[in-house]
Structure 1
């Protein structure tokens, strides 16, 4: 289908840049109501309206009455075709500045935006790969022409292209835990680059492939200046969850600790068993670390967690003051908050766990379908 002269495509990259720049945008989402309520594009300056496609087949007058004439319009659907059709009708009715989202929500779910976080002591750098459409965060630690990638998404081309453009060799690939809300790209990225692939052994008892064991005291070096990535065993989200202290400056917490919430312990069906581990990690083990560490989580749950330029980060000491999940001093109150405030489990989370163990091998399209929807790794409203 070719777009008419009155409409333009907007890529997921362009949309990401607009959201991070806090530019005004009106979104008409033509997916069905359930899909829209479950998962939609959000941003500080975005106004969103849902009118299902089938309600617009006989005309767009109803939509025109609700769309401000002075705002840029983006029409969104699942894959692209329906949004192009509706956008054309709106443009034909005389509206200008009309766009459709190229590739639809499928493309939006897969876009990775690299964000510079900060420098390392040797002049290296930390980059955060922001997956706005899914709320996932992954990282590249760069030093001396080498890199380690942490919690990679399955879109491994993005990391390889980023590294190649900068003359960087990916030497290590690490997962903080066995993921249940998205397909890990860790093993594939390691295979494609010849890097070592690291996993926490307590999460890897059923995996079908070889890996390096992430264990306390086993440092991982990146670059000539020996940037230390120090594993810190921190169970609770999973039994093997492992955090990383990088260059004595950054704390990568995986899905244990987020900016405004904490991790959930139930995605392997072990909430009652693991809630004690989660509390020990958050209230004891992390308390032993430097309060000046900058926390870099593997997910975010709310747009309010995005800082300037899209950075998702906060000082550990600030989180102990402001994060509700770190301020439940009574153990029973913590237990109730963690087990009673759990959001719905991620779509196909058990199948995703099986894929990340190597037990099943879904096609690319099946992986997309398995990942559809928001991340649900956090406990909110403590």
Structure 2
């Protein structure tokens, strides 16, 4: 009988930088595309089919008394491998419950700050995909920004805090993951906000997210100020919270910048992207704390497990903000594009309300790493 570890327990290890050894038994091509990462995580790959006749291929590389966490796609093969290793005398082997499928869906909440006027700001870190979403809590109300499709996590968190989700906001029409924004608003009776320039062809009602229209959360001074910041999409809109925090969506990340081509419009939108990064954001305070909707590298996690950076510091060290020549910038963006996210067009159609896949199909559509960034 093998022991199991939950995604939540593993997430805390990643965030706390605890030394952890993972044996990933998926096929090598799946492993190479997407794996569990962390500053103190060591990962080795040995495909499951190599271990069916015995665990010899890994036994010679590992100590039988060291802790090992076995990971597979959905949690079945890892359990079998863990049991085989136990029969061979390995004494400290765990399998990850639900495998990479469950890892992809885990959200780790991190408190970012107490806001002026009594509110609080939380970041939800989706370690398995690099997605970041946010919740503002103030008085008896909450606002969620860029929600993932696992809406029950936000609903439970709001219930624990004794607040009701009044606003669900998407900074843009997402194409790399299925948004939970509209579903969350439906479930809680809140208002769903989406930039109107990204809403052409959607099949549902929404409140336009427009520059100059504050969204107040609670009865305190917490305000969400949208600013139009195109480039990743035509409608991309950033949010300023409490005059302290800049939620950049997929326009600006800590170590990279947003890609402008998820609708096949890289050449058309690269000018908007540059204008937002080199002009619009430049006019904002250097002291704003940038809170993006994604991260690409585990080293972007700070000591408390959050992802954030001061805007002025990013202008000094983010290579995507260092390209003075416009033609060089255009070349950098259009020639350094990563592969399109898996099924991105179907994800866009789902987020527009034109498709409604079953839950299992939605999980499959999202499998894989974050591919929203351009690295200079």
TM > 0.5 between the two? yes
Query: Which sections of structure 2, spanning at least 5 residues, go unmatched?
Result: none
Q: Deviation per CA, 1:260-293, whole angstroms, max 9, x where unpaired?
A: 0000000000000000000000000001111100
Q: Deviation per CA, 1:215-246, whole angstroms, max 9, x where unpaired?
A: 11111000111411000000000000000000
Question: Counterpart in 2 of 1:213?
Answer: 208
- Quote how far apart the aligned CAs of 1:125 are: 0.7
- Quote how far apart the aligned CAs of 1:114 are: 0.4
Give the Cα–Cα distance (whole angstroms) in 2 for the partners of residues 345 and 247 of structure 1: 35
- Quote how far apart the aligned CAs of 1:18 are: 0.6
Question: Counterpart in 1 of 2:265?
Answer: 270
Count of equivalent residues: 376
- Quote how far apart the aligned CAs of 1:134 are: 0.6
Contact residue 223 and residue 241 of structure 2 kept, 8 A: yes
Q: Deviation per CA, 1:356-376, whole angstroms, max 9, x where unpaired?
A: 000011000000000000010
Question: Counterpart in 2 of 1:288?
Answer: 283
- 3-state DSSP class of the match of 1:210? coil
Question: Counterpart in 2 of 1:99?
Answer: 94
Question: Counterpart in 1 of 2:332?
Answer: 337
Contact residue 119 and residue 220 of structure 2 kept, 8 A: no
Question: Counterpart in 2 of 1:324?
Answer: 319
Question: Counterpart in 2 of 1:117?
Answer: 112
- Quote how far apart the aligned CAs of 1:71 are: 3.5
Contact residue 116 and residue 221 of structure 2 kept, 8 A: no
Give the Cα–Cα distance (whole angstroms) in 2 for the partners of residues 351 and 314 of structure 1: 32
2:187 to 166, 189, 192: 192
Question: Counterpart in 2 of 1:36?
Answer: 31
Contact residue 154 and residue 183 of structure 1 kept, 8 A: yes
Contact residue 24 and residue 71 of structure 1 kept, 8 A: no
Establish whether residue 148 from structure 1 lines up as the match of residue 143 from structure 2: yes
Query: Which sections of structure 1, spanning at least 5 residues, go unmatched?
Result: none
Matches within 5 A, 1:248-267: 248-267=243-262
- Quote how far apart the aligned CAs of 1:70 are: 5.4
Q: Spell out structure 1 runs of 4+ moving beyond 2 A.
A: 67-71
| TM-score when normalising by structure 2 | 0.99
Give the Cα–Cα distance (whole angstroms) in 2 for the partners of residues 363 and 46 of structure 1: 34
Give the Cα–Cα distance (whole angstroms) in 2 for the partners of residues 258 and 78 of structure 1: 29
Give the Cα–Cα distance (whole angstroms) in 1 for the partners of residues 189 and 61 of structure 2: 53
- Quote how far apart the aligned CAs of 1:140 are: 0.0
Give the Cα–Cα distance (whole angstroms) in 2 for the partners of residues 289 and 234 of structure 1: 12
- 3-state DSSP class of the match of 2:290? strand
- Quote how far apart the aligned CAs of 1:119 are: 1.2
Establish whether residue 377 from structure 1 lines up as the match of residue 363 from structure 2: no
- Quote how far apart the aligned CAs of 1:69 are: 4.3
- 3-state DSSP class of the match of 1:309? coil
Question: Counterpart in 1 of 2:156?
Answer: 161
Give the Cα–Cα distance (whole angstroms) in 2 for the partners of residues 151 and 180 of structure 1: 12
Contact residue 24 and residue 72 of structure 1 kept, 8 A: no
Q: Deviation per CA, 1:195-221, whole angstroms, max 9, x where unpaired?
A: 000000000011000000011111100
Give the Cα–Cα distance (whole angstroms) in 2 for the partners of residues 67 and 330 of structure 1: 51
- 3-state DSSP class of the match of 1:312? coil
2:168 to 169, 173, 187: 173
Give the Cα–Cα distance (whole angstroms) in 2 for the partners of residues 94 and 272 of structure 1: 58
**Change in CA separation of 1:68 and 1:326 when aligned onto 2, cut-off 3 Å:** farther
Establish whether residue 77 from structure 1 lines up as the match of residue 72 from structure 2: yes
Establish whether residue 23 from structure 1 lines up as the match of residue 23 from structure 2: no
Contact residue 27 and residue 74 of structure 1 kept, 8 A: yes
Contact residue 101 and residue 363 of structure 2 kept, 8 A: yes
